[in-house]
Chain A
């Protein structure tokens, strides 16, 4: 009884201290915010600044999240499933009530650099401020100048749809302490590298925020250290390894291969599909070739990820024999019997990083449901691959995937019928006829 009483008192005291702590944090947060956004009147932006801001906003691919399907550009509303709950991207048109029309440039920079929104409200890192922190004040100023020229759209977005306790935005203060090194975040040139390399690093780490998709996340949704751009699962798609790993990364691609891919949505070996097709369509195709080349130079300099190359599955096992027949009689018309594909249209499979990827889910889902290449100004055809879900059993689809992963110079673990069955269910593909 006595002990119980003690526990109750302790809990009440701790709760009280917690409330005081939270209150203090809240007050500090508001005060900090006010101190950061105080601003003297800035000169009106020039046309050149606005044009630069437009280019940089495209590089940042703001439109991808800040536009709902079928909605007004930049007016927000797209729901992002963070794994902890839903967050809707906000309205960033210059509407005074529902957008960011009332924001000063300093407020905008604070949000982009620190994840601190209106009135000190903490943003969730679904908004990749951890990457945008690298972007210079000058570039962010121009982006804001460009956003201010957009038509104001009145569209109220309920951003925070997280369940308790993740709906407490102040929790992000702690998250930032753990995973986001406050201060000194802006990109600093590495004097040992060329100007081009630095430009590429600035774009890849900053506005293009490649690591948002291509870096493994820890349990709390932050980039895992030491895994930068080494590939990860992204809501049922495999965002591939972008390091110079020759087997599964970009090591076997030339700089021009990377530029072609990002500029046109395809190169002689691969096409952009799925979420990357959107990134190419909305963002990278609009970048200049020198900027894309700089990104390629930087990506090619990333040290290769660890990889123990497996030995290929023997060609005489039943799955390989069946897989070869399936490939020759269904796939070879476009991808060719020797796996060389059609440049710019049907991916080649020879020494293919995509085919040998740590996770074969992109191949499985594309064979099941079909695929669609990014449509770009240079390559507007946007070729499609037909779906085979109605045609191939799980075992047949596993066999042809295993065959591809272990032919044409590739070597990767076999795919099982269970993996195919799980993917079929996950993406809502049809059952076999």
Chain B
């Protein structure tokens, strides 16, 4: 049974909306005549790829090591490709948490706050940065309680997997949510780090794209579109290119 919307909440919300609308500036549409405006070097370039050695922006050194170890269990190194840690998934997540994603700038984070249904998605005032801070601390504590104070990074792969399975099943709380939510978030973010463009810190040398045969940021397939069923072996191209662009 879903919680009924209370009349006083509705009225309160409506009053808040009216208050907001009154303070909004009147929208003024830009007027363009003649031709579309244009200026040299227009647009905002994508972020600059993090350089090595990387300085952690959000994680502490311990947190970074923990996230790297988790990434290596979610995507382990095998004979097909490198693991999540080497691919830079922790760097990717660190940059995201230090930026707008971590601050939740694209979420509505003002009241009223009340528990929602699963269909309504996360109903928390917590930002993803806070989720990670609390979630990692809770995992450290859970690990210590299970393994006599040992750190996650020192455990065997099998023990790490067992802990992560328990975490997935909701064995502890991370802040206001169960560990299941944080586990799902980790899975999602590690995947993103493994397959996002290398400028965001992960997908080292486009390893993720090479693994699945994704050709990257190419703009034109007209010359190969007729070659159906053929293995094209197109070398992946990142937003900042690929090694083959450098004349040497």
Q: Which of B38, B222, B247 contacts A321 (CB 8 A)?
A: B247
Bound form: Cα–Cα A332–B245 in Å: 15
- B20-58, CB < 8 A from A: 34-36, 38, 40-43, 45-46, 48-49
Tell me the nearest residue of chain A to B235, going by C-beta. A325
Q: Judging by beta carbons under 8 Å apart, are B38 and A396 in contact?
A: no
- The reply to whether A325 and B48 contact each other, CB–CB distance below 8 Å, is no
Q: How far is the CA of A398 from the CA of B246 in the complex (A)?
A: 10
Which residue of A369, A375, A389, A391 contacts B241 across the interface (Cβ within 8 Å)? Answer: A391
Q: In the bound complex, do residue A382 and residue B40 qualify as a contact, i.e. CB atoms below 8 Å apart?
A: no
Are the CB atoms of B35 and A337 closer together than 8 Å? no
- State whether A433 and B45 are in contact (beta carbons under 8 Å apart), knowing that A330-B219, A372-B38 are contacts in the complex: yes
Q: Is A386's CB within 8 Å of the partner chain B?
A: yes
In the complex, which residues 339-355 of chain A have their Cβ closer than 8 Å to any Cβ of chain B? none
Q: Name B194-223 residues within 8 Å CB distance of A.
A: 199, 218-220, 222-223
Is the Cβ of A369 less than 8 Å from the Cβ of B38?
no
Shortest B224–chain A CB gap in Å is: 10
Tell me if B's interface is mostly helix, strand, loop or mixed. loop
Q: Most B CB atoms within 10 A — which of A326, A369, A429?
A: A326
Contact B41 A389 (CB under 8 A): yes
| A residues less than 8 Å from B248 (CB atoms) | 318, 322
A382 touches which one: B38, B49, B218 (CB < 8 A)?
B38
Residue in contact with A325 in the complex, picked from B45, B239, B244, CB distance below 8 Å: B244
> A288 → chain B, closest Cβ, in Å?
22
Inter-subunit contact A387/B38 (CB<8 Å): no
Judge if B143 is at the interface, Cβ distance under 8 Å.
Answer: no
Query: Is A190 engaged at the interface, CB distance under 8 Å to the other chain?
Result: no
Chain A residue numbers with a CB within 8 Å of B244 are: 321-322, 325
Q: How far is B246's CA from A323's CA once the two chains are assembled, in angstroms?
A: 9
Judge whether B219 and A429 touch: CB under 8 Å. no
User: Contacts of B242 on A, CB cut-off 8 Å?
Assistant: 325, 329
4 more contacts with CB within 8 A, not counting A325-B244, A337-B222, are: A337-B220, A382-B38, A391-B239, A430-B41
Q: In B48-78, which residues have CB < 8 Å from any A CB? A: 48-49
The answer to whether A387 and B42 have CB atoms under 8 Å apart is yes
The verdict on B91 contacting chain A, using a C-beta distance below 8 Å, is: no
Interchain CB contact (< 8 A) of A329 among B46, B48, B199, B218 = B218
Contacts of A326 in B (CB 8 A): 241, 245
Quick check: is A395 within 8 A (CB to CB) of the other chain? yes
Q: Which residue of B lies closest to A317 (CB)?
A: B247
- Distance between B26 CB and nearest chain A CB, rounded to angstroms: 25
Q: A28 interface residue, CB < 8 Å from B?
A: no
Let me know if A430 and B220 touch, CB within 8 A. Answer: no
Q: Which residues of A contact B218 (CB under 8 A)?
A: 329
| B15 within 8 A of partner (CB) | no
Q: Tell me the A214-243 residues at the B interface (CB within 8 Å).
A: none
Chain A residues 367 to 405 lying within 8 A of chain B, measured CB to CB, are: 368-370, 372, 375, 380, 382, 384, 386-387, 389-393, 395-396, 398-399
Interface membership of chain B positions 224-248, coded 1 if the CB is closer than 8 angstroms to chain A and 0 otherwise = 0000000000000101111011111
A332 to B218, CA, bound (A): 10
Q: Among A322, A332, A333, A433, point to the contact of B247 (Cβ < 8 A).
A: A322
The size of the chain B interface, using a CB distance under 8 A, is: 28
Contacts of A391 in B (CB 8 A): 45, 239-241
Among A329, A380, A384, point to the contact of B38 (Cβ < 8 A). A384
Closest to B44 in A: A390
Nearest 8 CB-CB pairs, A to B? A375-B35, A390-B45, A369-B40, A333-B219, A322-B247, A333-B220, A318-B247, A372-B38
- A400 vs B59: C-alpha distance in the bound complex, in angstroms? 41
Q: List 21 A–B pairs whose Cβ atoms lie within 8 Å, in order of A's numbering.
A: A321-B247, A322-B244, A322-B245, A323-B247, A325-B242, A325-B244, A326-B245, A328-B220, A329-B218, A329-B241, A333-B219, A370-B41, A370-B42, A372-B38, A384-B38, A386-B42, A387-B41, A387-B43, A390-B41, A398-B247, A433-B240
Asked whether A427 lies within 8 Å of B219 as measured between CB atoms, the reply is: no
Q: What chain B residues lie within 8 Å of A386 (beta carbons)?
A: 42-43
A-B contact count (CB 8 A): 91
Chain B CB within 8 A of A111 CB: no
Contact residues in B for A370 (Cβ distance below 8 Å) = 38, 40-42
Is A203 located at the chain interface by the 8 A CB criterion? Answer: no
Instruction: Say yes or no: A399-B36 contact (C-beta < 8 A), given A332-B219, A391-B240.
Output: no
B240 proximity list for chain A (CB < 8 A): 391, 433
Contact A322 B246 (CB under 8 A): yes
Q: Determine how close the nearest CB of chain B comes to the CB of A346; give it in whole angstroms.
A: 12
The answer to whether A395 and B219 touch across the interface, beta carbons within 8 angstroms, is no
Output the least CB separation between A165 and chain B (Å): 35
Q: Indicate if A319 sits at the interface (CB-CB under 8 A).
A: yes
A379, B26: Cα distance in complex, Å: 35
**Inter-chain contact B245/A396, CB cutoff 8 Å:** yes
User: Are B247 and A395 in touch, CB under 8 angstroms?
Assistant: yes
Report Cα–Cα, A265/B42, bound state, in Å: 22
The complex places the Cα of A317 from the Cα of B240 at a distance, in Å, of 23
Instruction: Tell me the nearest residue of chain B to A396, going by C-beta.
Output: B245
Determine whether the beta carbon of A429 is less than 8 Å from that of B41. yes
Q: Is the CB of B247 within 8 A of A382?
A: no
Residues in A whose Cβ lies below 8 Å from that of B246: 322, 393, 395-396
Shortest distance between the CB of B175 and any CB in chain A (Å): 36
Residues of B within 8 A of A375 (CB): 34-36
Query: Which A residues lie within 8 Å of B239 (CB)?
Result: 391
Q: Is the CB of A433 within 8 A of B46?
A: yes
With the chains together, A332 CA to B222 CA distance in Å?
Answer: 9
CB distance from B206 to the nearest CB of A (A): 13
Which residues of chain B come closer than 8 Å to A336, judged between CB atoms? 222
Residues on the B chain within 8 Å of A325, using CB? 242, 244-245
B219→A433 contact, CB < 8 A: no
- The answer for the CA separation of A14 and B248 in the assembled complex, in Å, is 65
